[in-house]
Amino acid sequence: MAKSNAPFARKFPKDDPVLDKIDKELLGRTHRFSPGGWCIGTSDGGADPCSLRGNDTVFRPGPGAEKLHKLLQ
């Protein structure tokens, strides 16, 4: 779905394995919250990148925001 460059939205049943795949492969989430722009730590060795936080009042769009911007144009 992500490689098609087409926006998608649909309902998923509770505990659908597709949600786990989205969490892992698209969001980079592994049993934690998805890392945000305020997470300035490293995930080397399985560490939590959010264990070191920067200024959580600053919002910096990531590559997904740029992709969405292009799709909406």
Please give, one letter per residue, the 3-state secondary structure of the chain: CHHHCCCCCCCCCCCCHHHHHHHHHHCCCCCCCCCCCCECCCCHHHCCHHHCECCCCCCCCCHHHHHHHHHHC
- For the cut 70, the answer to whether the pLDDT of residue 31 exceeds it is no
Specify the range with the lowest mean pLDDT, choosing from 5-9, 51-55, 67-71: 5-9
In this prediction, residues 8-35 reach a mean pLDDT of 77
Residue 25 has a pLDDT of 81
pLDDT of residue 20: 84
The better pLDDT of the pair 15, 64 is held by: 15
In this prediction the pTM is 0.40
15 has pLDDT over 70: yes
